[in-house]
């Protein structure tokens, strides 16, 4: 099943400085996190209406990841089903 989205896939605006990490390490971490977010977008979106505690916690963690990636300069689209929670 597909996942509807309405924003750009992912883009990198700048390399952020994290204490103890080289720019290449930050880029590697961002890349891995973007892959993870894109890979799990459909599964998280499928549970958008589920009010079970596990599903709610999973959505919150996913949206926290998207927010953190934004702070690292990566924009990842949020599935349309999660837009109201974003």
pLDDT tens track for 19-62: 888 889 988 999 999 999 999 999 999 998 999 999 999 999 99
Q: pTM for this one? A: 0.72
Q: Which residue has the higher pLDDT, 18 or 58?
A: 58
Distances (CA, A) of 53 to 31, 56, 75: 29, 5, 27
Query: Does 63 score more than 90 pLDDT?
Result: yes
Q: Where are the domains of the chain?
A: 10-85
Kindly tell me the sign of the dihedral angle through the C-alpha atoms of 35, 39, 45, 47. negative
């Amino acid at each position: 099943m597909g996942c509807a989205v309405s924003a750009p896939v992912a883009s990198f605006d700048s390399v952020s400085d994290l204490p103890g990490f080289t720019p290449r390490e930050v880029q590697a971490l961002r890349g891995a996190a973007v892959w993870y977010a894109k890979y799990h977008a459909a599964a998280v979106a499928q549970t958008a209406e589920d009010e079970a505690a596990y599903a709610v916690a999973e959505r919150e963690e996913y949206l926290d990841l998207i927010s953190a990636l934004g702070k690292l300069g990566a924009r990842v689209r949020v599935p349309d089903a999660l837009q109201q929670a974003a």
